Amino acid sequence: MSDLLIKFAANPATAGIVKMLGLPAPIALARSDGAYAAQPFSGKNVLLGRSKNCYAIENLRAIVLDAGTSPLDALPEDENAGVDILLMDATGCADPAGLRVLYDFFHPAVRRISPNARVFITAALPSEASNPVAAAAARAIEGFSRSLAMELGMRGATVNLAYVARDAVDRLAGVVRFFCGVQSTYVSGQVVHVTSRVAAPAAFPASAVLKGKAALVTGSARGIGKATAERLVQEGAQVVCLDVAGASEALHETCSAIGAMPLEMDIAGPDAPRRLADFFKEKFGGLDILVHNAGITRDKTLANMPGHYWDMVVDINFAALTAIDQVLLSEKILRDGARIVCLSSISGVAGNFGQANYAATKAALIGYVAAQASQLADRGICINAVAPGFIETAMTKEMPFMTREVGRRLNTMRQGGIPRDAAELVAFLCTPGVHGISGDTIRVCGQGLIGA
Ligand code: NAD
């Protein structure tokens, strides 16, 4: 669904009216419709900053060079030259005075930041801090990065933070490429944890990263699932799109458009786990990527909610997913090194009026990935959740006009995301290069203000 406000704000003939009415003037976000590039930072101004005693700086420098450019240690002398990517290694910030480097680095740079720029900060993992003050200083960086994200969002710029364990600095490459790349366009104000707890994969390429991998995306006849399937195909995966028989026509259309294999199935059917195990064993000898995307809403206030609304939502959004994992994991259909991604929601983070059933299931998935991550680490499997905010899909199209308009604007970027934005984050979490991140929930919500 198109957002007329973005078009009006971008058109010189109507931009003045948007301003006069005091409406937000959202910027057109930069997006990619292709696969990952081998050198995505080529031609970009990348400014690299550091705190005293930081420990990720040499890794960050090498990553930037490998991604196609030499990092700058100071702002370009030409005052008209913008900065496209700002990387700050704040892993050495261990006391209040040490935080001053954030001000010193970002204050002069902030007016030079280009539209759709990327800011990425690394900080020490608070649980590794040698004392409570150092842990507090690391946590301070979270408040800083989320606030800066709010100040830059109207320019389409994003700000994200990674807490990095000392022994996991060699796992930053894929993470930096994503959070500093065009693919993370609607992901801002987020915090990820990069650790070495998951067994590392063998060497992997920077592009066509999923070549030869077998992938399943549930609920992929349309919406976020369809965009995800398309994105995984672009990276070389062999993708199976699953949806209910009622969505058969759309499912087959999607599959022939993107080059995927259709599978009609209700994930909440009693035989679904068995059928999936048999299917992937026979067709692919196993499964490398599992995206639990299928989900439904049955909204009512609790007082008005019929029992079957509760049951349907819990069965499809939560019970079906864990039943499938149980069989695919115990029978090792999900191979060592696999990636699992669960679609949660900001309703699961913050709760939502009239969505007690839905929010319960989406919060369950946040707890599920956090608990499963340590169980699966020895097998090299990463499991994470993605929590979309307002994404323009059939699900959000059904909202009443005013609710939709408010939902769409209640974020730092003043606009909804598109399915591709959510798909980019899911696809990133399916790559081998995400081996430092497991058990996290990342929002793709333009830094939605609800539950922030
Ligand atoms: P959508 O309704 O457009 O698509 C969901 C798909 O899942 C449909 O094709 C549907 O047929 C399929 N499905 C439903 N029940 C199924 C079942 N039992 N078995 C197999 N397939 C089934 O939804 P969407 O907006 O693309 O959302 C995708 C996921 O993202 C969902 O889990 C949703 O809860 C979550 N999410 C979406 C938004 C948003 O703004 N669109 C926000 C937060 C979370």
pLDDT of 313 above 60: yes
pLDDT of 211 above 60: yes
For residue 191, the CA-to-ligand 1 centroid distance in Å is: 25
Which of the four pLDDT bands, split at 50, 70 and 90, describes residue 208?
low
Domains and CATH numbers, the chain: 1-26 (no CATH), 31-194 (3.40.50.720), 214-444 (3.40.50.720)
Mean pLDDT over 326-331 rounds to 98
Mean pLDDT over 368-378 rounds to 97
Which of the four pLDDT bands, split at 50, 70 and 90, describes residue 35?
very high
- Ligand 1 nearest-atom number relative to CA 391: 40
pLDDT of 296 above 90: yes
Give the residue, by CA position, lying nearest to ligand 1 atom 30. Answer: 343
Q: Which residues participate in catalysis according to the annotation?
A: 358
Which of the four pLDDT bands, split at 50, 70 and 90, describes residue 18?
low
User: What integer pLDDT is reported at residue 405 of this predicted model?
Assistant: 86
Give the residue, by CA position, lying nearest to ligand 1 atom 2. Answer: 395
pTM of the predicted protein model: 0.95
Q: What is the mean pLDDT of the chain?
A: 94
pLDDT of 22 above 80: no
- Ligand 1 nearest-atom number relative to CA 390: 40
3-state secondary structure the chain: CCCHHHHHHHCHHHHHHHHHCCCCCCCCCCCCCCCCCCCCCCCCCEEEEECCCCCCHHHHHHHHHHCCCCCECCCCCCCCCCEEEEEEEECCCCCCHHHHHHHHHHHHHHHHEEEEEEEEEEEECHHHCCCHHHHHHHHHHHHHHHHHHHHHHHHCCEEEEEEECHHHHHHCHHHHHHHCCHHHCCCCCCEEEECCCCCCCCCCCCCCCCCCCEEEEECCCCHHHHHHHHHHHHCCCEEEEEECHHHHHHHHHHHHHHCCEEEECCCCCCCHHHHHHHHHHHHHCCEEEEEECCCCCCCCCHHHCCHHHHHHHHHHHHHHHHHHHHHHHHCCCEEEEEEEEEECCHHHHHCCCCCHHHHHHHHHHHHHHHHHHHHHHHHCCEEEEEEECCECCHHHHCCCHHHHHHHHHCECCCCCECHHHHHHHHHHHCCHHHCCCCCCEEEECCCECCCC
Which of the four pLDDT bands, split at 50, 70 and 90, describes residue 207?
low
Ligand 1 pocket residues where CB is under 6 Å: 218-219, 221-225, 242-244, 247, 266-268, 293-296, 316, 343, 345, 388, 390-391, 393-396
